[in-house]
Structures are given as structure tokens and as C-alpha cells.
């Protein structure tokens, strides 16, 4: 009696709650990476990314008064500014580390020997002394300032467009594209033909072939890495893009054929028979009927394969990256960055976001093809 109209079963709620949890699990780290990649190292170390969007109050590191001394009306005056940002607002200041917020902006504080110091709200300070301060140690100013949200593209510039930066991601980015695009297209091309034959052409041994492909689905990739590399070296491919494409194609094909074959076999038999009566050959049926109708399946497998090759490290390490480092991919580059720039969160966040930006883009651009049913209206 759970499915009476108007009553929601516990299962529905469980589904909704787990959906919300999944979305949160996915969304928050992504958003955090995205926001962090636009912040400076200082901002990242002083506050979390979630506070980056609001005005924040923070203590500015102590700054020692300095500058040229000018004699005005018998007093020696030094003027200067605490921070260059004009839109920061001073909320409190002090001259000792024990009381960094002792004074309000505008207060005139008498230090020793008739020396006075005042700091205005905009960070301008005036030190006034009856005798020359030359040769003496000038005071330090501790201040607390509120700064509005501030974002910078500097991280991206440094990582992508700085030619002198050996840790840059631009080369790795294009290398990854070079691996990924053919490694997505080749298996789809091969698998679509194979899937049509396995789904709709009658030939002896078809069932055995399908069973073999299902069997290949469960072969672990690690098992084949070294034998394949040896094979590549023996036949002269060696390490390089060609070998990587072949490896990705090989590892992707069983799933591709299996997915596409299952999709194609579900297409209405009548449509294919009708095309046969209309005089179409198998190749024409494939290109004119099956391929357009299989577009959702092709797109969904393309997304899978693209993401998997984009995020791949293992296959690239084995088949592509050599000692010159010219063919490094992004995953490898991020691993390197973790070692050499482990403390620079802004660099790591930016690099990580660059590497997930393309998959995100691909997913959002293609997801309507995953959802859309092309079959509406063909058969009753």
C-alpha cells in the first residue's frame, strides 16, 4: 500500500536525500577550487574560500614606519601609507604586538620624547617628532583592516601564460588534449561498426564474440601494461602518442562495443527491416539510420571515454611520458607540482581547476544528449 497517490514512500525520501548529499559532495570541492584559484597566497592562508565573497577584517602584518623626513614648523615629520589598496579601511591600530588594536583611526598617540603618531582610516600615517629621528629605530604599526572581496587572474597568468615558468601547465594542457581527442574518437569509430554488426547482422559465432567482449570487460588494465609496452617497443612504436592512443583504444573498446551494441539492439527491428525493404544496404542502414539514432549512446560513451582518458595518469606514464618531459600530461604535471610547490595552494588550486575545467565543460555541453530521447515518434 506504499504507492497510494499522494503518499511518498520512505524510499523516495532516501533518494532525494542521497541526491542532495551527492550534489553537495560534488559541488563544494569544485566551487572551493574555483574560488581559491582566483585568490592570492595571502588570502588563502588567512581565510577560507567561503569568506572570499564577503568583506573581511583581518590583521595586517606589522609595518615599520619609514620614509623621508621633512621639517615642518620646527618638527620633523614622516608621512606614508600602510597599504596601497585604496579601498581597504583601517578599523584599529597599535604600536605594540601586545596591543595591536589599542587605537582607533585618527587617534593621535604620544610615543616617548614628544614623538606623536597618527594613522588615518585610509591607512595614511603621520609621525611627528621634535628632534630628528634619523639614526633612531622607528616604531612599528600593527593594524587591523577590512578589505572588500578581491580576486586576481594572476594565478592563471602565471600557470598558463608565463613562458619562463617551468611548472607551467600550458604544454601539459595541450599534450593532454593531444592524447584525449584521438583516444575518444578512435574507439567510438571502431566500436560503432562492431556494435552494429553484433546487434543486427547475422553471422556464425556472433554470440561467442559478444560473450568474449563481455569477458574482456573484466580484464584489469594493469595486467596488460607491461606486455603491451614490450610489444610497442618491439614493433617500433616505442613511447609516444600513437602508442597511447592505441592503448586507450584497446582498453576502451570492450565497454564501448558492449554499451553501443546493447543500445543498438534495442532500436526497433521494424525500422531496420523497413530500411531493408526500402533497398538500403547494411552500410547505408548503419550510416543513415543507426548512427543518427544511436547519437545519445555515442555521446554518453564519448563522455565516459573522454573523462577517463583526460584523468588518466597510469596509461600516460607507461606509454607516453619519457625522460625529456616534453610529453608530460596534466595529471603528471599536478603530481610534480605537489612535490615542488606543495605549499603554494594558489598554484595547486589553479592547476587543479584547469584540469577539471574541460571535463566540466564537456559534461555540461553534452548532457542534454544523455537525457534526450531521439526515438520519440518512430513507433507507436
What grid cell was written down for 38? 582566483
Q: Which CB, 44 or 275, lies closer to other proteins?
A: 275
Tell me the closest approach of the beta carbon of residue 274 to other proteins, in angstroms: 4
Measure Cα distances from 291 to 178, 283, 379 in Å.
Answer: 26, 10, 18
Q: What does the DSSP assignment read for 241-299?
A: HHHHHHHHHHHHHHHHHHHHHHHHHTS-HHHHHHHHHTT--HHHIIIIIIHHHTHHHHH
Tell me the closest approach of the beta carbon of residue 379 to other proteins, in angstroms: 4
Q: Is residue 379 within the footprint of other proteins (CB under 8 A)?
A: yes
Q: Is residue 121 within the footprint of other proteins (CB under 8 A)?
A: no
Q: Is residue 33 within the footprint of other proteins (CB under 8 A)?
A: no
- Strand 108-110 relative to strand 56-64, pairing: unpaired
Q: Which CB, 41 or 374, lies closer to other proteins?
A: 374
Q: Is residue 5 within the footprint of other proteins (CB under 8 A)?
A: no
Pick from 41, 38, 143: which is nearest to 88 by CA? Answer: 143
Q: Is residue 378 within the footprint of other proteins (CB under 8 A)?
A: yes
Q: Which CB, 280 or 362, lies closer to other proteins?
A: 280
Instruction: Give the interface size with other proteins as a residue count (CB under 8 A).
Output: 23
Pick from 304, 290, 300: which is nearest to 375 by CA? Answer: 290
Q: Which CB, 101 or 278, lies closer to other proteins?
A: 278
Q: Which CB, 201 or 375, lies closer to other proteins?
A: 375
- The C-alpha atoms of residue 173 and residue 177 are separated, in whole angstroms, by 6
Q: What does the DSSP assignment read for 40-59?
A: -HHHHHHS-GGGTTS-EEEE
CB 37 within 8 A of CB 349: yes
Q: Which CB, 284 or 311, lies closer to other proteins?
A: 284
Q: Is residue 201 within the footprint of other proteins (CB under 8 A)?
A: no
Residue recorded with cell 547519437: 295
Pick from 63, 167, 161: which is nearest to 117 by CA? Answer: 63
Q: Which of residues 271-300 bind other proteins (CB under 8 A)?
A: 271, 273-280, 284, 288-289, 292-293
Q: Is residue 374 within the footprint of other proteins (CB under 8 A)?
A: yes
Q: Which CB, 266 or 268, lies closer to other proteins?
A: 268
Tell me the closest approach of the beta carbon of residue 257 to other proteins, in angstroms: 23
- The C-alpha atoms of residue 88 and residue 56 are separated, in whole angstroms, by 10
- Contacts (Cβ under 8 Å, ≥6 apart) of 238: 232
Q: Is residue 368 within the footprint of other proteins (CB under 8 A)?
A: no
Pick from 143, 109, 140: which is nearest to 123 by CA? Answer: 143
Q: Which CB, 236 or 279, lies closer to other proteins?
A: 279
Tell me the closest approach of the beta carbon of residue 280 to other proteins, in angstroms: 5
Tell me the window of 62-70, 92-100, 330-338, 372-380 that interacts with other proteins (CB under 8 A): 372-380
Q: Which CB, 28 or 283, lies closer to other proteins?
A: 283
Q: Which CB, 5 or 277, lies closer to other proteins?
A: 277
Q: Is residue 376 within the footprint of other proteins (CB under 8 A)?
A: yes
Q: Is residue 322 within the footprint of other proteins (CB under 8 A)?
A: no
| Coil, helix or strand at residue 62 | strand
Tell me the closest approach of the beta carbon of residue 373 to other proteins, in angstroms: 9
Tell me the closest approach of the beta carbon of residue 296 to other proteins, in angstroms: 11
- The C-alpha atoms of residue 328 and residue 360 are separated, in whole angstroms, by 22
CB 111 within 8 A of CB 139: yes
- Strand 116-119 relative to strand 69-72, pairing: unpaired
Tell me the window of 90-98, 101-109, 265-273, 338-346 that interacts with other proteins (CB under 8 A): 265-273
Binding site for other proteins (CB under 8 A): 268, 270-271, 273-280, 284, 288-289, 292-293, 374-380
Amino acid at each position: 500500500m506504499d504507492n497510494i497517490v499522494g503518499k511518498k514512500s520512505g524510499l523516495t525520501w532516501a533518494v532525494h536525500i542521497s541526491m542532495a548529499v551527492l550534489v553537495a559532495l560534488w559541488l563544494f570541492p569544485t566551487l572551493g577550487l574555483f574560488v581559491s584559484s582566483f585568490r592570492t597566497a595571502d588570502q588563502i592562508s588567512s581565510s577560507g574560500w567561503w569568506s572570499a565573497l564577503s568583506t573581511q577584517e583581518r590583521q595586517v602584518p606589522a609595518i615599520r614606519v619609514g620614509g623621508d623626513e621633512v621639517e615642518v614648523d620646527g618638527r620633523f615629520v614622516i608621512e606614508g601609507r600602510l597599504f596601497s589598496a585604496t579601498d581597504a579601511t583601517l578599523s584599529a591600530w597599535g604600536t605594540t604586538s601586545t596591543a595591536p588594536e589599542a587605537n582607533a583611526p585618527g587617534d593621535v598617540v604620544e610615543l616617548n620624547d614628544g614623538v606623536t603618531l597618527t594613522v588615518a582610516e585610509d591607512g595614511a600615517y603621520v609621525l611627528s617628532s621634535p628632534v630628528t629621528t634619523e639614526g633612531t629605530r622607528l616604531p612599528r604599526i600593527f593594524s587591523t583592516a577590512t578589505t572588500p572581496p578581491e580576486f586576481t587572474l594572476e594565478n592563471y597568468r602565471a600557470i598558463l601564460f608565463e613562458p619562463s615558468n617551468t611548472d607551467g601547465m600550458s604544454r601539459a594542457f595541450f599534450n593532454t588534449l593531444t592524447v584525449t581527442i584521438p583516444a575518444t574518437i578512435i574507439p567510438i569509430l571502431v566500436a560503432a561498426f562492431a556494435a552494429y554488426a553484433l546487434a543486427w547482422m547475422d553471422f556464425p559465432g556472433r554470440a561467442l564474440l559478444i560473450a568474449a567482449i563481455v569477458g574482456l570487460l573484466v580484464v584489469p588494465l594493469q595486467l596488460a601494461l607491461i606486455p603491451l609496452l614490450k610489444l610497442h617497443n618491439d614493433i617500433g612504436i616505442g613511447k609516444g602518442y600513437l602508442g597511447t592512443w592505441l592503448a586507450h583504444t584497446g582498453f576502451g573498446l570492450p565497454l564501448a562495443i558492449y554499451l553501443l551494441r546493447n543500445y543498438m539492439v534495442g532500436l526497433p527491428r521494424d525500422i531496420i527491416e523497413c530500411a531493408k525493404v526500402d533497398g538500403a544496404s547494411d552500410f547505408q542502414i548503419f550510416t543513415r539510420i543507426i548512427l543518427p539514432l544511436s547519437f545519445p549512446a555515442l555521446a554518453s560513451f564519448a563522455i565516459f571515454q573522454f573523462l577517463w582518458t583526460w584523468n588518466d595518469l597510469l596509461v600516460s606514464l607507461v606509454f607516453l611520458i619519457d625522460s625529456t618531459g616534453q610529453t608530460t600530461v596534466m595529471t603528471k604535471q599536478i603530481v610534480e607540482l605537489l612535490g615542488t610547490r606543495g605549499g603554494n595552494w594558489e598554484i595547486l588550486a589553479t592547476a587543479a581547476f584547469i584540469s577539471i575545467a574541460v571535463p566540466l565543460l564537456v559534461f555540461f555541453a553534452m548532457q542534454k544528449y544523455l537525457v534526450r530521447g531521439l526515438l520519440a515518434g518512430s513507433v507507436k
